Amino acid sequence: MGKEKVIKDVTKEQLFADFRRVVADAEALVKATVSHGGEEMDEVRAAAEESLKVAKARLADEGVDLMDKTKDTAKATDAYIHDNPWQAIGIAAGVGLLVGLLSGRR
């Protein structure tokens, strides 16, 4: 029997959440190795701390960008709905019908 592939839709928010967990785990690992001595271990720890600092800064920047884009999209959607209420109702009805048909096939 062949293995079935399960494809998941991964959103940017999920990726950010996963990345935050990885950063937190890596920070915990770095802190846990503080009691272990040696020059090589100190160098590895310093490099890991620097990488974590850069990753956290990038994550913060991307999070701000994502929030800005989300707010802009929400504002544009709100404006469209107010400007075209009947078209918005038609689109919502069409999407609802499509979702109903697809969920009924299972």
Residue 2 has pLDDT above 50, yes or no: no
pLDDT in tens, 3-53: 444 444 557 777 777 777 877 777 777 777 777 767 777 777 777 778 777
Q: For the chain, give the percent of residues with pLDDT over 90.
A: 5
Alpha carbons 16 and 59: distance in angstroms, whole number = 7
More confident residue, 65 or 87: 87
User: Which amino acid is located at 77 in the chain?
Assistant: T
Per-position DSSP letters for 20-67, written without gaps between them: HHHHHHHHHHHHHTTT---HHHHHHHHHHHHHHHHHHHHHHHHHHHHH
Q: Which residue has the tokens 């272990």?
A: 36
pLDDT level of residue 106 (50, 70, 90 thresholds): low
What's the whole-number mean pLDDT along residues 80-94?
A: 88
Query: What are the boundaries of each domain within the chain?
Result: 12-81
Residue 97 has pLDDT above 80, yes or no: yes
Question: Which among 85, 69, 63 has a CA at the least distance from the CA of 17?
Answer: 63
The two structure tokens encoding residue 16: 């950010």
Find out whether 16 and 63 touch, Cβ atoms under 8 Å: yes
User: Which amino acid is located at 80 in the chain?
Assistant: Y
